[in-house]
Structure 1
């Protein structure tokens, strides 16, 4: 369930941002929904299940419908990871509230449901910020760079999947990607999920 929630909010946010910025393409393609079934990418979810990192079905948008194609494209790309982090923060605050109010039943339910969803959203958010095509981070960098540099940057698209597979493929029991990203994921998870003793009292 945590995987589906993270993917649904991520891709819906891409679609919403594109629609808000003037491109109806995602809405016309039925992507402006929180239904996870319309956002699942078969390969992406398999990677998520077996390697711990993955992605949803990419939301398509037409840059010609945007007022500032490069800037707006970067905003659309940033919307996905941002939504994952925002949801993780909201759920962690709710869980902390349950603890402060000593709502034991809700603490148990929150620990069982919220914690996996928080962690999965952090994983998806961090992973998608990688500056490697087809991750959102690659498009965000392209939107920030000066136009000439962005053109050079976009030439790296063709190598993206090769880099990604090399990073994800496990070597000696763990992948380079896990070694790079998991410490970041763990750090953010500990910040959001760990409840200080002063708050419990």
Structure 2
């Protein structure tokens, strides 16, 4: 088997799980709070194919995979997004604060999955000397990439710009005079996010939100998840 295929497989698996369960968490939270829109449209599913977004699920992760494999020969980070789960805010029992909980469910799921991946490290440690080194290394890579993918997805989505989860949380928590103008940004939200990602860092090295998020994930965020999972300091 080509040497990079197992690495590619674990990277794809970690990313797909992070994205799929993020979106499923939104749908299940909405259902619990009174909105069955996602259920009726067949999006209340753990089937990754139901959440595929052409750009966020296929093109961007594929580009990141190709660049990393061609330049450094391994996958160090992965990122993407899925097709948003439909939510009818007016069907929620408490539309304003219900939407806050629905929006928070996705990032919360990703933090939980990062912790679960770190917990998986305990049985993997016990397999040292039992499994072949190649298999053990792949399991460790899956754990590392799962932690990173989930933390990246959670923190990116918590950026305070609608339609990202952080923007919707902020709209629900701010007083109405401040929430209304922020909510009106939603149609242009993705354009604003793209400008922050691709244009702002070119204006100044200190203005790089994705660079800051990545640095946090690969530093103190990663160490914090390991500590919470009982791996010590």
TM-score band, normalised by the shorter chain? Answer: 0.7 to 0.9
Q: Secondary structure at the residue paired with 1:169? A: helix
Q: CA shift at 1:194, angstroms?
A: 7.8
Q: CA shift at 1:37, angstroms?
A: 0.8
Partner of 1:184: 216
Q: CA shift at 1:112, angstroms?
A: 3.0
Equivalent-residue separation in structure 2 for 1:120 and 1:49 (angstroms):
14
Q: Residue 77 of structure 1 is aligned with which of 93, 97, 103?
A: 103
CA contact (8 A) 1:95 1:107 kept: no
Partner of 1:42: 54
Equivalent-residue separation in structure 2 for 1:50 and 1:179 (angstroms):
18
Distance 1:112 1:183, change over 3 A: closer
Q: CA shift at 1:156, angstroms?
A: 2.3
Partner of 1:138: 167
Q: CA shift at 1:62, angstroms?
A: 1.1
Partner of 1:18: 30
Per-residue CA distance 1:8-67 (angstroms, 9 max, x = gap): 110000000011111110011111111111111112223344465432111111122111
Distance 1:97 1:21, change over 3 A: same
Per-residue CA distance 1:141-197 (angstroms, 9 max, x = gap): 01111223211221222432222111222766x9923322112211212333589xx
TM-score (normalizing by structure 2): 0.74
Equivalent-residue separation in structure 1 for 2:168 and 2:139 (angstroms):
35
Partner of 1:116: 145
- Structure 1 residues 53-62 or 19-28, which shifts more? 53-62
Partner of 1:160: 189
Q: Residue 86 of structure 1 is aligned with which of 112, 131, 147?
A: 112
Partner of 1:6: 18
Q: CA shift at 1:118, angstroms?
A: 1.8
Given the alignment of the two structures, is residue 150 of structure 1 paired with residue 188 of structure 2, yes or no? no
- Structure 1 residues 6-15 or 46-55, which shifts more? 46-55
Distance 1:131 1:49, change over 3 A: farther
